Amino acid sequence: MVRLKQPAVLGELLVGVVLGNLALFGFDGLEFLRPAAGHGELLAIGKGSLAATTLDMLARIGVILLLFEVGLESNLNDMRRVGASSLIVAVLGAVTPMALGWGVSRWLLPNHSWHVHLFIGATLCATSVGITARVLKDIGKTDTREAQIILGAAVIDDVLGLVILAVVQAIIVQGSASALEVAVIIGKALGFLVGSFLLGEWLSPRLFGVAAKLRVHGMLVITGLVFCFLMSWLASFVGLAPIVGAFAAGLILDERHYVALHVRDERSLEDLVLPITTLLVPIFFVMMGFQVDLKSFLNPSMLFLAAGITVAAIVGKQACSLGVRRDVDRLSVGFGMIPRGEVGLIFAAIGQGLRSGGEPVIDAAVYTAIVVMVMATTLATPPLLNWSLTRHDKN
């Protein structure tokens, strides 16, 4: 893919799709690698074969380190400057696809419960920051204003997605969601985001100061990873995605926090983390592709729904680009918010576990349509974003 002037992540996804569907051609020798949990989630630890469990653990670590690396390459002050734009983009990018998804579902599934329409809309509001972050890194555009807006909006989208998912779940299970429940969810999310920056500014220089006093080779990368996983755990503890914590950790860390270790190791933290991410990050994207079942395309009745929600997913995210100033490439911002990836699949998996009138909110047919939508948005984003961000380059 790199030789074809495309981001490497596209090749990793396609390799995963091919390996995950070899059984269609009579070869099932790799089926022992398939996640046992199914439903689009990465493997639940402790289930399935040892190889599948190991790959899942490596994939989880890989995507955490990817966002940590992207955070290290970003600048907190730059993110603050685009904070208002990121917030507007995130809100528009959540509300518009959700409304379009509701409308498409109600039009194409007139006999289904309104709970189904609500949950399909909620599924479309998610954004997979991992895909976009990898594309931006592959093409060397993480320091652009568009990239900062996209990454900031994607992090806010995770918070909004959490709130929307929790509210929708409460409505389906209880029939309503109280204002107190919504306030608690929002409070935890905002508390983590604000608290992480305050804690990080206080904790990271002290953590690296202790590491510097140990006078042991390699302490810069070890301490950096400890801080990354600590923030990821804190994010998970309050109900957010661990990758939000990893991105916050990378964003918080500044060279002034670890200047003593930097002088001793003679390399930056970004350089030291690079060999680890080069090994682990591709595993995550290959395993994402591995979970795609091409048999989904054999269900013609659901292809109409798949096409409808895919169009809603893409158009809805383009609408969010209206929230940025005219001197910013709106097309690139819209393209960067398109992929749903593992986030959309996890939303759909939760819908399969919810019941409305004794039936799952997301049945097998609707889940198939969502999988096709996730495939389309995930595979379309790398070439589209690569083209939009590089189309004005002179060389």
Q: Is residue 51 part of a domain?
A: no
Give the span between the Cα atoms of 214 and 335, in whole angstroms.
Answer: 46
41 class by beta-carbon count within 10 Å (0-12 exposed, 13-18 middle, 19+ buried):
middle
Helices (runs of H) and strands (runs of E) counted in the chain: 16, 2
Q: Which string of b and e fits 232-255 if b means at least 16 CB within 10 Å?
A: bebbeebebbbbbbbbbbbbbbbe
pLDDT per residue over 116-133, tens digit each? 888 889 888 877 777 777
Query: pLDDT at residue 57 above 80?
Result: yes
Q: Is residue 133 part of a domain?
A: yes
Sign of the C-alpha dihedral, residues 171, 174, 180, 183? negative
Predicted local confidence at residue 45, as pLDDT: 41
Percent above pLDDT 70 for the chain: 84
Q: Is residue 138 part of a domain?
A: yes
Query: pLDDT at residue 263 above 60?
Result: no
Mean pLDDT value of segment 150-168: 76
User: Into how many domains does the chain fold?
Assistant: 1
Predicted local confidence at residue 176, as pLDDT: 63
Q: How many residues in total does the chain contain?
A: 395
Q: Is residue 333 part of a domain?
A: yes
The answer to whether 14 touches 380, Cβ cutoff 8 Å, is no
Predicted local confidence at residue 310, as pLDDT: 93
pLDDT per residue over 344-380, tens digit each? 766 776 777 777 666 778 777 787 788 788 878 878 8
Query: pLDDT at residue 308 above 90?
Result: yes
Q: Is residue 296 part of a domain?
A: yes
Residue 144 Ramachandran class (φ > 0 left, ψ -120 to 50 alpha, else beta): beta
Helix axes 300-320, 83-108, angle to 10 degrees: 150
Question: Which structural domain range is residue 140 located in?
Answer: 58-187+271-386
Predicted local confidence at residue 42, as pLDDT: 41
pLDDT per residue over 90-106, tens digit each? 888 888 999 999 999 99
CATH of the domain at 147: 1.20.1530.20
Q: Is residue 11 part of a domain?
A: no
Q: What is the pTM of this model?
A: 0.70
Q: Is residue 44 part of a domain?
A: no
Q: Is residue 181 part of a domain?
A: yes
Q: Which residue has the tokens 């009579």?
A: 26
Predicted local confidence at residue 311, as pLDDT: 93
